[in-house]
Structure 1
Amino acid sequence: MTQHTVLFELGCEELPPKSLKTLRDALQAETVKGLQEAGLNFASIEAYAAPRRLALKIVDVDGAQADSQKRFDGPAVQAAYDAEGKPTKALEGFMRGQGISAEQVSTFQAGKVEKVCYYKDIQGQSLDVLLPQILQTALDRLPIAKRMRSAASRTEFVRPVKWVVLLKDDQVIPATIQDHQAGNLSYGHRFHAPEAITLANADEYLPKLKAAHVVASFEERQAMIDQQVKALADEVNAIAIVPADLRDEVTALVEWPVALRASFEERFLAVPQEALITTMQDNQKYFCLINADGKLQPYFITVSNIESKDPTQIIEGNEKVVRPRLSDAEFFFLQDQKQPLASRKTKLANMVFQAELGTLWDKSERIAKLAVALTAITGANAQDAEKAALLAKCDLTSELVGEFPELQGIAGTYYARLEGENDEVAEALGEQYLPKFAGDVLPKTKTGTTIALADRLDTLVGIFGIGQAPTGSKDPFALRRSAIGILRLIIENELDVTIEELVNLALQGYGEIVKDHGKTLADAVAFLEGRYRAKYEDQGVAVDVLQAVQALSPKSPLDFDKRVNAVNHFRALPEAAALAAANKRVANILAKEATPEGAVVEAKLVEDAEKALFAELQAVTPVVEPLLAAKDYTEALSKLAALRAPIDSFFDGVMVMADDAELKANRLRLLAQLRHLFTAVADVSVLQH
């Protein structure tokens, strides 16, 4: 069969930059699906996306579907012919329905019954017939939140469609897609080469567009931007901040990227750099420059869509546009400094945290008391913790946070430093919100850790206390994420404390606001323990490892974590599967039989295998018990792995349920001793292999 190279291009008004990559990938995936469903083979499919176009190049695609044969089933042979071998009414009806004569009837075996049938030859449809519908279906299935209709057209798309190219090698495939007649005319850069481009064949697409100042490949444009941005940053000995989302968005905004470096007045560097970076990235789509220490430099890089004969005009234009934005940030920053952070508590007293739980100032006072109590656990200075807690929410009333909400905490750190607060207090104001998301960094200071814990515990306990725990998809206070943050703060800072202790400390701050302290304690503890699964699944820990640890209900998150790590390590050992199976067998036996009291009587061990197992247990127990006491569970389980051979021999050669009652009782005690050693870490019998 003949193979062809096909080019499809949909030309539009400027496509939404934040979803350009998604649209390209979805168009490719849907087209692949359509080709496969149609039975059309192809070697590869390349997808292109630029501001004004989505395109596909399908390489070595079949010119038509393969011919096929379809079977139409009729009645059983027994019912199809009479005693003389002539067609019955049943067979005549089947032939009439298929429009065939008796000579075209075949038979086939359907289980034990032989049936009549008709094999119809079906000629495969051509690529020219199939492809337009495949492409239109793919476009209809694109993930577009809001479609629009343009002019008199009844079809809808994310932006008005301007032209359609559909080429098979050097031939136009006659088709109407999105109400546009397909042709071989594309268009270059809107300013550099706005005239039509005639494509003689599908392979001309990329080079001809490039000659017309359009780089159709998203990845190629992005590589050009990366290279140009790095070169411009290197010239001033700086490093460009290139967030992945902004990089994709800028790539989606230009057809012919030309990076230019501009500058701003150094006086603006006195403003919190986070505010300057935010406004330049979000509003202007600029790449900011920092030095090796992470300090903002008075430069930014803009990516133009024009190769100007006088780039200084573009640079000056961007500098003129950014100056008022930086001036606004500077104004807010200077205004805020006229009022000390601590004096803002009156404004916080007028801002509701939650109707039943009081204002933000009420919350600040609760956090301060809780933070002081937590310092005994975190090792922070109580005076610093109290001071930081009372200042923690003050920057929420500032002009800077009002304009840049993402600077909450960060603005507070700047103002606290300017007011002469020590590093622990100042840093804690920004660190109180860490971690913000899964995998985010934790606070570096002990005071920051204390405030971060206190803030989350206060919210969680308060919301549970008024009966508004998260349900289904409703979690307005983000308590699920907050709970994982609490677990991480405890585990990664190695704080030896139980969840119950922490919840009780937080409850003390609420007094009579929370009516049922007992129920709130139980519910909040259960909720926090319920988040272990989400936390560890994110790290790739298997569910059975968690179940093995949860069977013991450890009360401390740090202890829980050590056990999880130990079981995870144990699970990978070659002995793990056999030991898990043996533990399951032991657990089943002990569940059915009451274990007799007392220790194993060595004199009543008669079989070599039970003597050997007892000897190994006697040897390993004094080694393992200190490890368990030190909570070195990984090493403890590694030592217990050596019991695999004697356990296997025991079950191969010893009858536990012996007729002799004393022998049976002694063997049950032996198994109980074995089980006790393993379950000191986790219930490894639940591990799946």
Structure 2
Amino acid sequence: MQEATLLVEIGTEELPPKSLKTLSEAFAKGLSKQLTDASLAFTDVQSFATPRRLAVKITKVAAQQADKIVEKRGPSVDVAFDADGNPTKAAAGWARSNGISVEEADRLKTDKGEWLLYKAEVKGQAMADLLPDFVQRALEQLPVAKPMRWGNGDAYFIRPVHTVTLMYGDELVPGDVLGIASNNHLLGHRFHCPQGTQLSNADDYERTLEAAWVIADFDKRRALIESGIAEQAKQAGGRVTSDQELIDEVTALVEWPVALTASFDKQFLEVPKEPLIVTMKDDQRYFPLEDNDGNLLPQFVFITNIESKDPQQIILGNERVIRPRLADAQFFYEADKKTPLAARVDGLASVLFQKQLGSIKDKSDRIAQVARRIAELLGSNQDIAERAGSLCKADLVSQMVLEFPETQGVMGMYYARNDNEPSGVPEAIYEHYLPRYSGDALPQSIAGCAVALADKLDSLVGIFGIGQVPKGDRDPFALRRSAIGLLRIIVEKDLPLDLNVLVDISRESFGDVLTSETVTTDVVEFLLGRFRPWYQEQGVSVDVIQAVLARRPTAPVDFDKRVRAVTVFRELEEAQALAAANKRVANILAKLDAPITGKVDSGLLSANEEIALVKALEEAELSAKDALKSSNYTGALKALAGLQKPVDAFFDNVMVNADDAAVRTNRQAILQRLRELFLQIADISVLN
């Protein structure tokens, strides 16, 4: 069967850079699925994406579907004919739907009976006849939030479409997509090749576009940008900090990347580097340069989309563009320093946090109060934590943060230092926003931890306390992120804190504002529920997490120790048998009319296996006692692993439900003792 390379390209106006890669991958996936569903064989799929095109190249695509035999089973013969042998309405309707008469139907005989059967050979369709519809459907299924319509046509897409190219080998596949007829004209570089170019063969796609000053492969273009930036940085004697998102965005903005270096006046380095970096990256898509100590250099690398004969003109143009932005940052910084951070706190009263919970000033007052209590629990300086808490949001009303919101916290730290706030306060102001995202750094100081915890607790307790619990994807206050951040701080900083205590402290700071009577329970359950996605992200098995959650330990550090211990225990040879035994014990005890309250009576022990099990339990309890005192759950579980053989022997040879009521109750008490021993750590009965 004939096969060749298939090339599909949609030429457009500039596509949204932040979604370009996602659109490209979705287009390739959608088109290959259409071919697969149509039983058209192919091998490799490669996606291409530039600011002005989405394309897919698929190799060894079959030119035609294979012929196939279609069989449709009809009613059984008993149903298909009446007592006189005439076709019933059911049989006639089925035959008519298949375009035949009842008499023309074949018969299908099986061990279970005989049925009418329609059998026909369906000729495979040519791939070229199916392709336009495949492409149209793949485009319609792209994750486009707000498609647009252009011109006088009815077609909708994320951006106006100018060209559609459907090539199969060296043949143009005819057809319309989005109201545009397929042709072999490709858009070239907007400036270097505005006339475009002609594609003669699908296999020549990349070479043809490269001759038209377009690097079609996203990853290849990205690699060129990375190497160009690295080379420019090396020549300038600096380095560029890694920013993969920015590199992806810039890759999606250019078709022919050229890296150049520009500079700015050294006077701007008197401004903290963070707002300068923000304006260079976010406003201009520049790559700031730093020295080996992390100090900002008065230079930056940028990517241009033109191979200029006079690159110095482009460099000068970019220097002129960045200067007023840096001057703004300098002006805001100097103006902000004239007003102490503490004097800005009252201005927070005009900034709403949440209608029922008050202003950001109200929130700051609560954070200060709770941070002091947490610092007390941690044996840290309470005055530092309280002062940092009261000032932690003050920079929100500074000119710098109003202009560059990304610098909140950072500028608070600089302004606190400028105001000669006590040592530890500036750092805690910055750290209280940490962690901002998955994998982000944690606060380093205890004061920073206290304020960060107080801030996250305030949001969680406040929003839950007025009944606005996150539902589905709706989480406008980012409570899930706050919850995981809170757990990370406590666990990874090894802080001896309990969730019930923390939530109660935060709840008290609200006075009589909250309306929910179950806020403490609700918030603690929500926090415990965040352990599952957090540990799953680390590769911890779900059943391990469930085993610990069943015991509901509310001290996060203790919770973590249990998870680590059960993870180790799960890999032991004895684990499977002991988990099964615990499950069996749990089922037996669950069926009892009343819980077992009495102790094991040694005088009622008769079978050798139950005597041996009780002795083993006593030894295991003794071995695990010291380990449990020090929360060494791994050691405790390893000690309990020795119970596997006596437990198995007990179940193999002893009848728990003995006829004698006293013996039966005593044996149930043995099982209760076994169950409680493991439950001191986790419910291992849920382990798979």
Asked if Structure 1 and Structure 2 have the same fold, meaning a TM-score greater than 0.5 normalized by the shorter chain, the answer is yes
**Alpha-carbon distance, 1:32 to partner:** 0.9
Q: Is the 8 A contact 2:286 2:301 kept in 1?
A: yes
Cα separation, partners in 2 of 1:413 and 1:680, compared to 1, 3 Å:
same
What pairs with 1:293-442 in structure 2 (closer than 5 Å)? Answer: 293-442=293-442
User: 1:101-116 alignment to 2 at 5 Å?
Assistant: 105-109=105-109, 112-116=112-116
Tell me whether 1:254 sits opposite 2:263 in the alignment: no
In the alignment, which residue of structure 2 is the partner of 1:587? 586
The residue that corresponds to 1:281 in the other structure is: 281
Shift of 1:272: 1.8
CA distance in 2, matches of 1:425, 1:675: 50
The aligned amino acid for 2:557 is L
Counterpart position of 1:570 = 569
By how many angstroms is 1:307 displaced? 0.7
CA distance in 2, matches of 1:589, 1:131: 63
Q: Which residue of 1 aligns with 2:552?
A: 553
Q: CA deviation at 1:414?
A: 0.8
How many aligned positions are there?
A: 686
Matches of 1:145 and 1:329, distance apart in 2: 34
Specify the code of the residue in structure 1 equivalent to 2:212: A
Match of 1:502 in 2: 502
Q: Is 1:672 the counterpart of 2:672 in the alignment?
A: yes
On the 8 A contact 2:196/2:212 being kept in 1, the answer is no
Q: Give 1:617 deviation, angstroms.
A: 2.6
Which shifted more, 113-122 or 226-235? 113-122
Residue by residue over 1:599-629, the C-alpha shift from the partner in whole angstroms, topping out at 9 and shown as x without a partner, is: 552x654433233323333333222101001
Contact 2:378 2:496 in 1 (8 A): no
Which moves more between the two structures, 192-201 or 274-283? 192-201
Give the C-alpha shift of residue 92 in structure 1: 8.5
Distance in 1, Cα, partners of 2:242 & 2:634: 41
Question: For residues 503 and 597 of structure 2, what CA distance do their matches in structure 1 show?
Answer: 40
Mapping of 1:89-128 within 5 angstroms? 105-109=105-109, 112-128=112-128
Cα distance, 1:496 vs structure 2:
2.1
Look up the SS of the partner of 1:595 in the other structure: coil
Cα distance in 2 for residues equivalent to 1:287 and 1:489: 31
Q: Hey, what does 2:598 align to over in structure 1? A: 597
CA deviation profile, 1:129-181 (whole Å, cap 9, x unmatched): 11122112212222222223333332222222222222221121222222222
Cα separation, partners in 2 of 1:160 and 1:353, compared to 1, 3 Å: closer
Cα distance in 2 for residues equivalent to 1:89 and 1:507? 73
User: Is the CA contact 1:378–1:449 (under 8 Å) kept in the aligned structure 2?
Assistant: no
Deviation by residue 1:326-358 (Cα, 9 ceiling, x = unmatched):
110111001001111112223224434444444
Matches of 1:477 and 1:298, distance apart in 2: 38
Shift of 1:220: 0.7
**Which has the larger displacement, 482-491 or 215-224?**
482-491
Q: 1:94 to 1:429 in 2, by over 3 A?
A: closer
CA contact (8 A) 1:348 1:394 kept: yes
Q: Given the superposition, is the C-alpha separation of residues 143 and 683 from structure 1 closer, same or farther in structure 2, using an over 3 Å criterion? A: closer
661-670 vs 296-305, greater mean Cα deviation: 661-670
> Following the alignment from structure 1 to structure 2, what is the Cα–Cα distance between the partners of residues 526 and 203?
58
Q: Deviation at 1:645?
A: 1.4
Deviation at 1:115, TM superposition (A): 3.3
Give the drift of 1:566. Answer: 1.8
Q: Which amino acid aligns with 1:285?
A: R
Output the CA distance in 2 between the equivalents of 1:522 and 1:579. Answer: 32
TM superposition shift of 1:484: 2.8
Q: Equivalents in 2 of 1:87, 1:329: separation in Å?
A: 88
Structure 1 residue 301: Cα displacement = 1.1
Q: Distance in 1 between matches of 2:570 and 2:364?
A: 45
Instruction: Write the letter of the residue equivalent to 2:159.
Output: R
Equivalent residue, structure 2, for 1:68: 68
| In 1, Cα distance between equivalents of 2:129 and 2:654 | 75
Pairing 1:451-530 to 2, within 5 Å after superposition: 451-470=451-470, 474-514=474-514, 519-530=518-529
Give distance in 2, aligned partners of 1:670 and 1:84: 74
Question: 2:219 — aligned with what?
Answer: 219
SS of 2:424 mapped into structure 1: helix
Name the counterpart of 1:269: 269
Following superposition of structure 1 onto structure 2, how do residues 634-645 of structure 1 map, counting pairs within 5 Å? Answer: 634-645=634-645
Once the two structures are overlaid, the 10-residue window that deviates more, 197-206 or 408-417, is 197-206
In 1: Cα distance, 2:441 partner to 2:133 partner: 50
Structure-2 separation of matches of 1:318 and 1:241: 20
Paired amino acid for 1:460: L
* 1:31/1:134 contact within 8 Å kept: yes
Aligned to 2:657: 657
Q: Any conservation in 2 of the 1:600–1:670 contact (CA below 8 Å)?
A: no
3-state SS in 2 of match to 1:240 = coil
Separation of aligned partners in 2, 1:275 and 1:23: 32
For residues 136 and 323 of structure 1, the distance between their equivalents in structure 2, rounded to whole angstroms, comes to 46
Amino acid at match of 2:554: K
1:86 offset after TM fit, Å? 10
In the TM superposition, 1:2-13 aligns within 5 A as 2-13=2-13
State the partner residue of 1:184: 184
- Indicate conservation of the 8 Å contact 2:189/2:196, yes or no: no
| CA shift for structure 1 position 423 | 4.1
1:132 counterpart residue number? 132
**Measured at CA, do residues 114 and 628 of structure 1 come closer, stay the same or move farther in structure 2, by a change above 3 Å?**
same
Q: Within 2, Cα distance between the matches of 1:385 and 1:311?
A: 53
1:68 maps to a residue whose letter is K
Distance 1:156 1:588, change over 3 A: closer
Measure the CA separation in 1 of the matches of 2:97 and 2:363. Answer: 80
Provide the rounded CA distance (Å) in 1 between the counterparts of 2:433 and 2:345. Answer: 19
Change (3 A) 1:79 1:368: closer
CA distance in 2, matches of 1:71, 1:671: 60
CA distance in 2, matches of 1:665, 1:76: 60
SS of equivalent residue, structure 2 residue 676: helix
Aligned to 1:611: 611
- The DSSP-based 3-state class of the residue aligned with 2:396 is helix
Residue identity matched to 1:363: K
**Residue type of the partner of 1:577?**
Q
Q: Name the SS of the counterpart of 1:611 in structure 2.
A: helix
Residues 548 and 562 in structure 2, CA contact (< 8 A), matched pair in contact too: yes
Find the aligned partners of 1:289 and 1:384 in 2 and give their Cα distance.
Answer: 35
1:484-512 per-position Cα deviation (integer Å, ceiling 9, x unaligned): 33333222222223222223323443334
Indicate the SS of the match to 2:252: helix
Compared with structure 1, are the counterparts of its residues 173 and 637 closer, same or farther at alpha carbon in structure 2 (3 Å cutoff)? same
In the alignment, which residue of structure 1 is the partner of 2:163?
A: 163
Q: Any conservation in 2 of the 1:11–1:161 contact (CA below 8 Å)?
A: yes
Distance of aligned partners of 1:511 and 1:193 in 2 relative to their CA distance in 1, 3 Å threshold: closer
CA displacement at 1:386 relative to structure 2: 2.2
Whichever residue aligns with residue 282 of structure 1, its letter is D
CA drift at 1:62: 0.8
- Answer with 252-261 or 63-72: which moved more: 63-72
- Deviation track 1:251-303 (CA, whole Å, cap 9, x = no partner) reads 11111111111111122122121111111111111112222332222211111
Name the stretch that deviates more: 403-412 or 610-619.
610-619
Tell me, yes or no, if the aligned pair for 2:232 and 2:260 is still in contact at 8 Å: yes
TM-score by length of 1: 0.92
CA distance in 2, matches of 1:512, 1:159: 53
Distance 1:619 1:536 in 2: 33
Contact 1:15/1:158 (CA < 8 Å) preserved in 2? yes
- Secondary structure of the corresponding residue to residue 451 of structure 2: helix
CA distance in structure 2 between the aligned counterparts of 1:361 and 1:83, rounded to whole angstroms: 89
> Which residue pairs with 1:630 in the alignment?
630
Structure 1: which 5+ residue stretches go unaligned?
none
Q: What one-letter code is carried by the residue in structure 2 that aligns with 1:595?
A: I
Matched, 1:147 2:147: yes
Q: Partners of 2:127 and 2:672 in 1: how far apart?
A: 72
C-alpha distance 413-196 of structure 1, shift in aligned 2 (>3 A): closer
What letter corresponds to residue 427 of structure 2 in structure 1? E
Cα–Cα, structure 1 residues 118 and 547, in superposed 2: closer, same or farther, change >3 Å?
A: closer
